[in-house]
Amino acid sequence: MGQTEVKQLVDDLANGRLTTSDLTAALTASGSADLGDTTLDLDRRRRCGFPEVVYAEGKSSETLLRIVGSLLESNQSVLATRVSLEKSEALLGAYPNGRYHPTARTFRIDIGPRDVRGRVTVVTAGTSDLPIAEEVRETLDWMGVETTMVHDVGVAGPHRLVYQLDKLRRADAIVVVAGMEGALPSIVGGHVDCPVIAVPTSVGYGASLGGIAALLGMLNSCAANVVVVNIDGGFKGGYVAGTIARRRHHHEVPS
Amino acid sequence: MGQTEVKQLVDDLANGRLTTSDLTAALTASGSADLGDTTLDLDRRRRCGFPEVVYAEGKSSETLLRIVGSLLESNQSVLATRVSLEKSEALLGAYPNGRYHPTARTFRIDIGPRDVRGRVTVVTAGTSDLPIAEEVRETLDWMGVETTMVHDVGVAGPHRLVYQLDKLRRADAIVVVAGMEGALPSIVGGHVDCPVIAVPTSVGYGASLGGIAALLGMLNSCAANVVVVNIDGGFKGGYVAGTIARRRHHHEVPS
Amino acid sequence: MGQTEVKQLVDDLANGRLTTSDLTAALTASGSADLGDTTLDLDRRRRCGFPEVVYAEGKSSETLLRIVGSLLESNQSVLATRVSLEKSEALLGAYPNGRYHPTARTFRIDIGPRDVRGRVTVVTAGTSDLPIAEEVRETLDWMGVETTMVHDVGVAGPHRLVYQLDKLRRADAIVVVAGMEGALPSIVGGHVDCPVIAVPTSVGYGASLGGIAALLGMLNSCAANVVVVNIDGGFKGGYVAGTIARRRHHHEVPS
Amino acid sequence: MGQTEVKQLVDDLANGRLTTSDLTAALTASGSADLGDTTLDLDRRRRCGFPEVVYAEGKSSETLLRIVGSLLESNQSVLATRVSLEKSEALLGAYPNGRYHPTARTFRIDIGPRDVRGRVTVVTAGTSDLPIAEEVRETLDWMGVETTMVHDVGVAGPHRLVYQLDKLRRADAIVVVAGMEGALPSIVGGHVDCPVIAVPTSVGYGASLGGIAALLGMLNSCAANVVVVNIDGGFKGGYVAGTIARRRHHHEVPS
Amino acid sequence: MGQTEVKQLVDDLANGRLTTSDLTAALTASGSADLGDTTLDLDRRRRCGFPEVVYAEGKSSETLLRIVGSLLESNQSVLATRVSLEKSEALLGAYPNGRYHPTARTFRIDIGPRDVRGRVTVVTAGTSDLPIAEEVRETLDWMGVETTMVHDVGVAGPHRLVYQLDKLRRADAIVVVAGMEGALPSIVGGHVDCPVIAVPTSVGYGASLGGIAALLGMLNSCAANVVVVNIDGGFKGGYVAGTIARRRHHHEVPS
Amino acid sequence: MGQTEVKQLVDDLANGRLTTSDLTAALTASGSADLGDTTLDLDRRRRCGFPEVVYAEGKSSETLLRIVGSLLESNQSVLATRVSLEKSEALLGAYPNGRYHPTARTFRIDIGPRDVRGRVTVVTAGTSDLPIAEEVRETLDWMGVETTMVHDVGVAGPHRLVYQLDKLRRADAIVVVAGMEGALPSIVGGHVDCPVIAVPTSVGYGASLGGIAALLGMLNSCAANVVVVNIDGGFKGGYVAGTIARRRHHHEVPS
Amino acid sequence: MGQTEVKQLVDDLANGRLTTSDLTAALTASGSADLGDTTLDLDRRRRCGFPEVVYAEGKSSETLLRIVGSLLESNQSVLATRVSLEKSEALLGAYPNGRYHPTARTFRIDIGPRDVRGRVTVVTAGTSDLPIAEEVRETLDWMGVETTMVHDVGVAGPHRLVYQLDKLRRADAIVVVAGMEGALPSIVGGHVDCPVIAVPTSVGYGASLGGIAALLGMLNSCAANVVVVNIDGGFKGGYVAGTIARRRHHHEVPS
Amino acid sequence: MGQTEVKQLVDDLANGRLTTSDLTAALTASGSADLGDTTLDLDRRRRCGFPEVVYAEGKSSETLLRIVGSLLESNQSVLATRVSLEKSEALLGAYPNGRYHPTARTFRIDIGPRDVRGRVTVVTAGTSDLPIAEEVRETLDWMGVETTMVHDVGVAGPHRLVYQLDKLRRADAIVVVAGMEGALPSIVGGHVDCPVIAVPTSVGYGASLGGIAALLGMLNSCAANVVVVNIDGGFKGGYVAGTIARRRHHHEVPS
């Protein structure tokens, strides 16, 4: 809680808009739900703009069901990532209106219609990067951002990218998904004036070191507008691009 | 050159607005200046919004002087990074109106007054991260972006950050500069709804591995809005934040 | 055997309290049981306060049964870690009064009632860290230490930790279990005056490098009261915390 | 600020012990001093038991002087680590009653007499580990903890350690400082029932990898009572040992 | 498209050999086939001499079938690498004249008879390197290059290599396939005057680090004529050797 | 072939003891058997004292059978390492007098009675190191060296090793097999005057990095008589120890 | 010495063209010069086409002078790499007709006029890669190969490379010198049909890891015609390209 | 102290050969000299055959002088390694009969004439490996072992090694010193029947990683008789070879 909010609360007390027990409650509110082995952050949407997203790996189906239930109760939409086929069955059993994407391994429940704002182009270096690109796309779709896909334009056939420049230039942000040497974000970055979010993938073998080669390549990109997320980090790549794109099309001018 | 531009050029020829030699010239324009050991990208500003920025490490003073001269000739402003004190003297000798910042190690020549657009908050974990934070700030200043500095609010004294929340929440983008365990971007990210650009620094010793520990920490951040640049990558951290901030406050709605 | 003990033995001989063959026996006592491929350290409890704990990985069920039998014969309690479900069945078949915890993968046989001394709080960054946290808790329970669990208070929702500060402040030692960027121990450390034992976990993917990122983050913690154990080292994290907590509540003032 | 403290403050307001502006002040107190590029944590002593310790590397003499001045003003004692000879001269010039230890590279100003509580034994594997061991000792001395030094008892001459067992067994905690293969903490751990804080050093060459070999060895220690800090982390090794030792000899039984 | 080609096109327009729409078409030709998640580079053969080779890992059988179909439609031969047995069945079902090599894991469809040009000798250090060597051989065979195999002449039995020197000396290029310490390329390189392409393999255990040891050894080769490809990179090793060998026996003197 | 041997051959020719075709045959003898994908080094025993030992990993049963057959034909004994249970069945089917050891994963066929010479003591740090220790023992047994096993005397129970000193001191060479921190070879080395061959194992988890921690520890051993082999390198550890031990008990004084 | 050569020698003896002492001399010729701490390989030119090249790092000026003298005595040309300015002075003092290139750090003495054969294009990603590119060029010049330089066409300004395609397409081999992300060889490879030798450089900072990032990127190149040499391996990059280029323009068809 | 020795002492007491205070003294003898920051192991020679060798790095001249004095007092010879020129001056000032070798950086004082026993051949791959090879040679000389040097026979000129085979075959043990790819020990190992001690050096650049490449190559050697020591570990390489060689020529047959 920031300085301004605390001052406002004490003012409210001084002005009789709050009782002392209201004040105590406000100052010590947990903003979260205690689900036993999980403390769900119900205040996330207020602070960060979107509800807490669920990382399903290492969580049991029972835990996932408890979390989804708690989010829906507080009227928040649901996005879970890295959901195995088996866990998706438990979730779809309980929530048949949910949407499971088997390539992206995401599970979603949208709450009411969302306004669509902002445009993101998602680029893959090769066909094998598809699962991560789909995770990016599902995330953006859940956030209410329009996406354009440009597939398989890796650097060994450089004309393929040039042919698609128009799709790159009208984006608010671009997500580039690439394994092996991870060179594509630099090339894309050199053609555009928007931020490029580079998502290294574990596609490759031998000295690709499970994606480390692509990650290092992207971190050392000589293009000034390239930032990087974790290997196979499709969710985060999409999330940050979506944040940039949505905020560009809707903001109060700060005072 | 994208599809649209090529089509436009051939149309211009068909319509008599261009001769065939104009067309050849346009299609084969180098967009760059040949300076011997350097091929300066003079077209960068058109494509990417800002002129090519000069990485001074490993370049001689002579080469730097040639590049600066060429940029000014084509009426582009100058930013050079990682400029040693010795090289700065050669540059200031030739361009006394330039600005050298010894902590940031940047050299700048601004061209005419720039409109200031967008707000970025720059946060450091500790006082030793100062040089990189100053490189961030100089970059943003050169781009025409307003900056707010929040210094030394590392996680071991967590109340220090909370005290400054208001400065974080009104930014278009936040740059967090941190060495050692690199935990600060995650904390900042959990408090705000704008993108957080994490800049790991080489501050630390032993298992900090020259900044690798901070880099890995930031890549694995559990906050969804954190992206990462290279270790000690102050320029890029500032550049991307500036791009996000400026574009948020000035854009044509894409058709 | 220390200087003092040797001198005492020779004195006892001089004073007729020992025969020479008693002395030889005492000086050359093995303090261990020869079980073929295992040399069980039966003297561990005397030297270190607790019996030898059994690392079950890479040991056959037959070897485990021999070790458990030998410990019980010498009236020592049993704790085995990293016990697979399959091996647990062999152990429970022979010792039905044993306790197997399938999440923690521990097998225990307690000997008589133990006095409970000291308080340790165990904190997890996320729900996926649960198995290691349960190994910590089982270890502390076996040692006779009271535990309080605080689950899923990772740094992206920083208010969740603040809400639980009271549980942290009354502990003799705190064990923090965290994967990904491993930032939580630093935050906890900044709030308390007791030692914090950081246990990195292999939760995460890509650049988490199987827990290396969390480990490095914790080693570089800017909080002065944080020490670290091996990745997924729940047993050791619990053991050291338990040692600190129990010794705090029971000690002779050294002369 | 924990739940209990917030509740107490609101109660105090309700009971007239505080005015609303007192309450606002208390809730929004920074607990820190703004020194420009530094935000000094003046509340650290209250939360963690000791004042903030200053990491001098990467800080200018001017910054260090500002910090020392601010600590003394608020009546807190001073410990700065990794202080170069050159910076020590600036500090001693301003504070002639300070104490600089050139081997440990520490600078201290103690405030009034401190009660001495607790006993820590500091063990080195070799003579080359001396500078780090001296940093440990200075830290403990500043904290008011009694220290015993046991030097150069590395494992290649195992009888040297056995000869000193009595010094190990009467400690509240032991700090073992070792480079190369870092085996000594395991041996020490096998002889005692108190916690062993292992401090890897960068002593060695080739495959010691600047201390990584010793660090990994200590993290994989088969002794259950060994925890680890950063390479060359003498300050932290001493600090945690001191915390354990002092708290063992002085504590209120928690309610 | 190079300068010369663009100029030629505009000349053709000026001379009436092209219409403006022909020109636009030529300048904006994609040179590729859009297969949904794949953008097949149909222009590769013109630029690089051979059709695009298909990396089958991470691609579904459906995607592979689409790619093979598209290549054949444009009358290009097919080579796919890292094809699992299961995927080979789908491919052979649709294209019974294809050739699947289970050790090399390659699938090929040759188009018409190919002239055979150039000679490459393929050398293995040990029998366990066979699968990669077979991938080399299949690639060369597809390219129309004559191969000689020299098996299992690792350095621990140095006379075995000397016995085969004649086979080495008459090659246009040599591919050496070796795991473990990867020393063989240096020895081969010291005996011949042609380029040696070193292919490290993941054969080995422990400190071979999945082929990293062999890779590093080859990169540090003291023989001046040794170049390196990725670990287990049989395809690329063969391809580059084949390029060198074929071009040596057929080239127009460049103007 | 050394200088002396070549000179002797030409002398023999000059003296009529050889014909020119004998000479050519001797100078160009392959000393190996061509088995298709394998070139078996039949000259190894003459040069190095023992026949070529077969590394079974990555070789098919068919290849192994061909190699074993070829060795027996030339009257050489057989040792194959890393033989899976499945391959052992093929080998035992063809050679029922062979000996397969399932823990060591070795397959042997001894040729006639061997004189036993030399004594090696094999020490393990823990019970989980048993498979590698058994590979050491089988290798030594095949070489005709007497072995003594000392099991599970890791450093956390240091008295266990001291109790066995007599077994260490009468060896010609000692092999120490240890995972985790790999500290045991240093301790053993400090007690004896013979060479200590350290075999790191992959026993451990987390920061043991698959045996890298133990390997680095052993390479940095402060004991002067410790040398190291690859992780899990039981065969080589045994082979070198056996070479040292046998040669100590049987040698012509070199002229 | 290969089989064919040995047979020829014995035939010569049989036919009276050699005496037995001639034969012994031929079979035991050292092919090298013993210079005390150096064994110079005088036979290298016969086997490999060029004399031994001297790696000057770690050699004293005295040793270098001995080596240069010995090469000249046997009428071989001289190339030394990594020659410091100080050592160059000693060499130029003794051999004033030598040529020292301070950027490339090479020292050469050419013997008589060399026929120039083959064409290599050398490409740099950035101006800071110049020293390594000059080492490439000097090596090629010494070998008698024509070179074309294309400077500073890194991927962030992709039009710069396209502008120079004609220079790439007429080469027999291309050497690409690049640091940072090392992406340029892949782009170049996608445009041409000749082999591309990628030379990673240590240009960069932070996560460039002294050139490891560029090296990994190049090893994982998705272009099929890219091979790699050591970081900063300008000599080897030039040497292999020169070998390919010269052999393409001059060869006997092997029988 | 082993079992046998303890029993003997108690027997001696029982038989009146010792008093009880003699016994206490014998059982608690430190076997070392307390020099303040150093505990010198004076018992090393009895246990291990040679006095403690001094690692001079990180020790002051004062400490070194104390250690040398103490060794000489107890009539033990002196070997110090990694002695800088500056420290050598202090040592030679005090002990003018000492011998300092500036290339090997060793300081020695021999005590009386030593019998020379055993033969070791020391091989270098290149001239730059000379300093480490000289450290090997000085160590062996101090131990009283005869050495033969074979210089600069790296694998790129393989005939150079073959020419020296006779020198290799008459050794009791061989030390091979090599940097870069570290391939030479494997080749040497394939020619001989004695143990080969491989010493990797830090000679090389780029991907040699300061000697790691050579180290890994040697650990993965396919020759069965190769063992490895630390990078630049000339002392240990010589020490172990000397131990093997001396013990081969002088031993009581163990009972």
Return d(Cα D146, Cα G57) in angstroms, integer: 52
Bridge partners (DSSP) listed for residue E81: E55
Return d(Cα A167, Cα H197) in angstroms, integer: 62
Q: If you measure CA to CA, which chain H residue comes closest to C23? A: H10
Residue C117 contacts A, CB cutoff 8 Å:
no
Q: Pairing state of beta strands F106-109 and F99-101? A: antiparallel
CA distance from start to end of chain E = 19
Quick one: pLDDT band at residue D133, thresholds 50, 70, 90? very high
The H or E element containing residue A223 is none
Is E240–G225 a contact, with Cβ atoms under 8 angstroms apart? Answer: yes
Residue F206 contacts C, CB cutoff 8 Å:
yes
User: Coil, strand, or helix at residue A192?
Assistant: coil
- Chains touching G (at least 3 CB pairs under 8 A) are A, B, E, F, H
- The pLDDT averaged over each successive group of 10 residues in chain B (255 residues) is 84 89 85 90 92 95 96 96 98 97 97 88 96 98 97 86 90 97 95 97 97 98 97 98 93 44
G46, HSE (Cβ side, Cα atoms, 13 Å): 10
Show Cβ contacts of residue B36 under 8 Å, excluding neighbours closer than 6 positions.
B66, G151
* Tally of residues, chain D: 255
DSSP A73: H
pLDDT of res. B4: 85
Q: Which sequence spans correspond to the domains of chain G?
A: 31-109, 119-248
Contact indicator for E195, G244 with CB cutoff of 8 Å: yes
Return d(Cα B21, Cα B206) in angstroms, integer: 63
DSSP G223: S
pLDDT tens for residues A63-103? 999 999 999 999 999 999 999 999 999 999 999 999 999 99
pLDDT of res. G251: 55
Residue type (1 letter), F13: L
User: Coil, strand, or helix at residue F224?
Assistant: coil
Phi, psi angles (nearest 5°) of residue G27 = -75, -25
As given in the structure block, the two tokens for residue H35 are: 């020099």
Closest to F220 in 3D by CA, of H240, H214, D212: D212
Class (C level, CATH) for C119-248: alpha beta
Phi, psi angles (nearest 5°) of residue E165 = -55, -35
Quick one: pLDDT band at residue A27, thresholds 50, 70, 90? confident
Quick one: pLDDT band at residue F45, thresholds 50, 70, 90? very high
Q: Which region, left, alpha or beta, applies to residue E167 given φ > 0 means left and ψ of -120 to 50 means alpha?
A: alpha
pLDDT of res. F39: 93
Is C30–F151 a contact, with Cβ atoms under 8 angstroms apart? Answer: no
DSSP string, chain B: --HHHHHHHHHHHHTTSS-HHHHHHHHH---EEE-SS-EEETTHHHHHSSPPPEE-TT--HHHHHHHHHHHHHTT--EEEES--HHHHHHHHHH-TT-EEETTTTEEEE--S------EEEEEESSGGGHHHHHHHHHHHHHHT-EEEEE----TTSTHHHHTTHHHHHT-SEEEEEE-TT--HHHHHHTT-SS-EEEEE---S-GGGGGGHHHHHHHHT-SSTTEEE--TT-HHHHHHHHHHHHHHHTS-PPP-
pLDDT tens for residues F87-117? 999 999 999 999 999 999 999 999 877 789 9
Is G217–A221 a contact, with Cβ atoms under 8 angstroms apart? Answer: no
Residue D184 contacts H, CB cutoff 8 Å:
no
* Neighboring chain A residues of D11 at a CB cutoff of 8 Å: 20
Residue A46 contacts B, CB cutoff 8 Å:
no
pLDDT above 80 (res D251) = no
pLDDT tens for residues D184-205? 999 999 999 999 999 999 999 9
Greatest Cα-to-Cα distance within chain H, rounded to the nearest angstrom: 70
Q: If you measure CA to CA, which chain G residue comes closest to H157? A: G41
| SS3 sequence of D135-146 | HHHHHHHHHCCE
pTM (whole model) above 0.80:
yes
Burial class (CB in 10 A: 0-12, 13-18, 19+), H252: exposed
Return d(Cα G4, Cα E119) in angstroms, integer: 19
Contact indicator for G236, A202 with CB cutoff of 8 Å: no
Return d(Cα G203, Cα H52) in angstroms, integer: 45
Closest approach of chain G CAs to the CA of F14, in angstroms? Answer: 7
Range A195-232 burial, b when 16+ CB lie within 10 A, else e: bbbbbbbbbbbbbbbbbbbbbbbbbbbbbbbbbbbbbb
Q: Which of A37, A59, A232 has the CB atom closest to C206's CB atom? A: A232
Return d(Cα A17, Cα G159) in angstroms, integer: 65
CA G11 to chain centre: 37
pLDDT tens for residues H166-207? 999 999 999 999 999 999 999 999 999 999 999 999 999 999
User: Coil, strand, or helix at residue C123?
Assistant: strand
Contact indicator for E229, E240 with CB cutoff of 8 Å: yes
Closest to B242 in 3D by CA, of B168, B145, B174, B148: B145
For E:122-151, CB contacts with G below 8 A are none
Query: Percent of chain E at pLDDT above 70?
Result: 98
- Chains touching B (at least 3 CB pairs under 8 A) are A, C, D, E, G
**What mean pLDDT comes out for the span F209-217?**
98
Closest approach of chain G CAs to the CA of A225, in angstroms? Answer: 10
Closest to D238 in 3D by CA, of D198, D193, D192: D198
As given in the structure block, the two tokens for residue G19 are: 């005496």
Contact indicator for D168, D150 with CB cutoff of 8 Å: yes
Query: Percent of chain D at pLDDT above 70?
Result: 98
Q: Which of F43, F58, F233 has the CB atom closest to E203's CB atom? A: F58
Range of lowest pLDDT (A111-125, A203-217, G72-86): A111-125
Quick one: pLDDT band at residue F251, thresholds 50, 70, 90? low
Phi, psi angles (nearest 5°) of residue F148 = -125, 130
Q: Pairing state of beta strands G119-124 and G173-178? A: parallel
pLDDT tens for residues A141-193? 999 999 999 999 988 887 888 889 999 999 999 999 999 999 999 999 999 99
pLDDT of res. F191: 94
Task: Outline where F84-164 has alpha helix (H).
Answer: 85-94, 130-143, 159-162
Is F156–D213 a contact, with Cβ atoms under 8 angstroms apart? Answer: no
pLDDT of res. H25: 86
Which position has the token pair 């509580």?
Answer: D117
pLDDT of res. B251: 55
Residue type (1 letter), H240: V
Residue type (1 letter), D118: G
Closest to A53 in 3D by CA, of A120, A173, A118, A135: A135
Return d(Cα C16, Cα E105) in angstroms, integer: 82
Closest to F223 in 3D by CA, of E228, E171, D154, A179: D154
DSSP string, E124-149: ESSGGGHHHHHHHHHHHHHHT-EEEE
Residue H4 contacts C, CB cutoff 8 Å:
no
Residue G153 contacts B, CB cutoff 8 Å:
yes
- H and A interact (at least 3 Cβ pairs within 8 A): no
pLDDT of res. C25: 86
Residue H251 contacts G, CB cutoff 8 Å:
no
Burial class (CB in 10 A: 0-12, 13-18, 19+), D127: buried
pLDDT tens for residues D234-247? 999 999 999 999 99
Return d(Cα H72, Cα H78) in angstroms, integer: 8
In order along its 255 residues, chain G shows pLDDT tens digits of 778 888 888 899 888 898 988 888 888 887 889 998 899 999 999 999 999 999 999 999 999 999 999 999 999 999 999 999 999 999 999 999 999 999 999 999 998 777 899 999 999 999 999 999 999 999 999 999 999 999 999 888 878 888 899 999 999 999 999 999 999 999 999 999 999 999 999 999 999 999 999 999 999 999 999 999 999 999 999 999 999 999 998 754 433
Residue type (1 letter), A253: V
Task: Decide which of C36 and E72 is more confident.
Answer: E72
Range of lowest pLDDT (C104-118, D206-220, E120-134): C104-118
pLDDT of res. C252: 46
Contact indicator for C240, C229 with CB cutoff of 8 Å: yes
Closest to B109 in 3D by CA, of B56, B146, B71: B71
**What mean pLDDT comes out for the span H229-246?**
98
pLDDT of res. C200: 98
* Neighboring chain F residues of D182 at a CB cutoff of 8 Å: 181, 217, 220
Return d(Cα D226, Cα D196) in angstroms, integer: 5
Closest to A50 in 3D by CA, of A118, A133, A139, A171: A139
